Structure 1
Amino acid sequence: MTNETWSADTPGVLRLPSGRLIRGRGLRNPLPPGQKPEFGVYLQGKEPAPVEWESKWVKWTDFWLPADRAAFVETLREVLKRSETERVEIACSGGYGRTGTAMSCLVTLDGIPNSEALAYVRENYNKRAVETPWQKRFIGRFSG
């Protein structure tokens, strides 16, 4: 562990209310230049390709919700903890729907009310974050 998080100006980085930095990205795009993650969470319907850093797979079909919600909450808690000192990324195929949903749930764990989480992520990560009505509803009802 390098004990160094992302630079705030790194593309795709979301600053959480606590100041922690998390990178979101789409896996269909090439790995961005610069620093590599130290821990990644990959939201995919099938197991993703291996990466050279520690990672965790959350089974999550495109446009839907996590298959195991308890494991998803546990993973987000790990993301929050590790992002204090490590470069952590969350990614799905496009970097919008599942990634935006996960980041919205993450900001609720970091102190933003559920009713404001999606707006926070759209303003601070990507305006296209979260793609379906049930993903929006999931954020509204999320509790960690």
Structure 2
Amino acid sequence: MLLAPGPVPAWPHRRIRWPDFWVPVDRADAVDALTEALRRAHGGERVEVACRGGTGRTGTALAALAILDGLPPERAVDWVRATYRPRAVETPWQRRWLRRLT
């Protein structure tokens, strides 16, 4: 799952329109892509989540995956910061988007 413009990888991928420091442009498309990524991961496939810097958008997407997998939204940011990157999920609107995900 690609969250920023850039080169096209050789493997199957899905790009989400997600401006830096913001939230996805199309909520339904983002949730669909995240749900597909979670389904693939549960099926044993490797899933990559990538943006340009790997902090805000990637952290938000990882927190969203955790929420979709059953983690309460109020714990998702702390979990991503503890297990992935301490500054993941950079902006208040990214945190708000996560709270409204379910």
Do Structure 1 and Structure 2 share a fold, with TM-score over 0.5?
yes
Q: Shift of the alpha carbon at 1:52?
A: 1.2
Match of 1:65 among 15, 23, 37: 23
Q: Which is richer in helix?
A: 2
Structure 2: segments with no counterpart, 5+ residues: none
Q: Name the Cα RMSD after superposition.
A: 0.9
Q: Which is richer in strand?
A: 1
| Match in the other structure for 1:111 | 70
Distance 2:70 2:84 in 1: 17
Structure 1: segments with no counterpart, 5+ residues: 1-40
| Match in the other structure for 1:15 | none
Q: Secondary structure at the match of 2:14?
A: strand
| Match in the other structure for 1:24 | none
Matched-pair identity in %: 48
Match of 1:139 among 86, 98, 102: 98
After superposition, the C-alpha distances for 1:39-75 in whole angstroms (9 at most, x for unaligned) are xx0002x4x3111111110001101110100000000
* One-letter code aligned to 1:43: L
Q: Shift of the alpha carbon at 1:96?
A: 0.4
Q: How does 1:1-144 map to 2 (within 5 A)?
A: 41-44=1-4, 46=5, 48-84=6-42, 85-143=44-102
- Count of residues in correspondence between the two structures: 101
Q: Shift of the alpha carbon at 1:134?
A: 0.6
